Amino acid sequence: MPTLTFAPLLHLLGFLAGAALYALLMALASRRQQRFDYLPVLTAVLGLLWNVIGLAAYGIRDFASREPSAWLVATAYSALGFLPPRGGGATAAAMGRSSSSSSERSERPLRGRPTAARDRSPGRPVPQSRSV
């Protein structure tokens, strides 16, 4: 008798939520009127493939109590392997915004408590540590 776990339900919910988000990305990418960009469309197609085929593979394994076809699993993981590493650029491009490049990020001011290296100015003496 199989034990009851929440793993099949979490697989189902996770793959359905992922498919819904990639479908939303596909809708946003296809509605752009200005300039067609392949990155958001490719990301949406590969993400939909991963989630829909993964849902089928895990559904077969979890609910039909048999192993899915090796080709089905290989196709799902291939789509996952070709997904861009960060979806933020594709999402920003689909929404018509430009994502900030690494040079723009490095020019942003540092926040938080200043460290000793940033706190020193040329005319300010370096604090000496006292021994007790």
Give the model confidence (pLDDT) of 3-57 as tens digits: 668 888 898 999 999 999 999 999 988 887 677 778 888 999 999 999 999 999 9
The amino acid present at 115, given as its one-letter code, is T
pLDDT at 34: 76
Q: What is the mean pLDDT of the chain?
A: 77
Q: In the numeric block, which tokens belong to residue 86?
A: 């960060």
pLDDT at 103: 46
Alpha-carbon span 39 to 76, nearest angstrom: 19
Q: Residue 84 CA to chain centroid, in angstroms?
A: 8
Residues 39, 90: contact at Cβ < 8 Å? yes
Q: In the numeric block, which tokens belong to residue 50?
A: 């991963």
pLDDT at 37: 79
Maximum alpha-carbon separation in the chain: 77
Q: Looking at the predicted structure, is the pLDDT value of residue 109 above 90? A: no
The amino acid present at 77, given as its one-letter code, is Y
Place of tokens 């699993």: 73
Give the model confidence (pLDDT) of 57-101 as tens digits: 999 988 888 899 999 999 999 998 988 876 566 666 666 665 554
Global pTM? 0.62
Residues 79, 56: contact at Cβ < 8 Å? no
What contacts 108, CB < 8 A, 6 or more positions away?
Answer: none
Residues present in the chain in total: 132
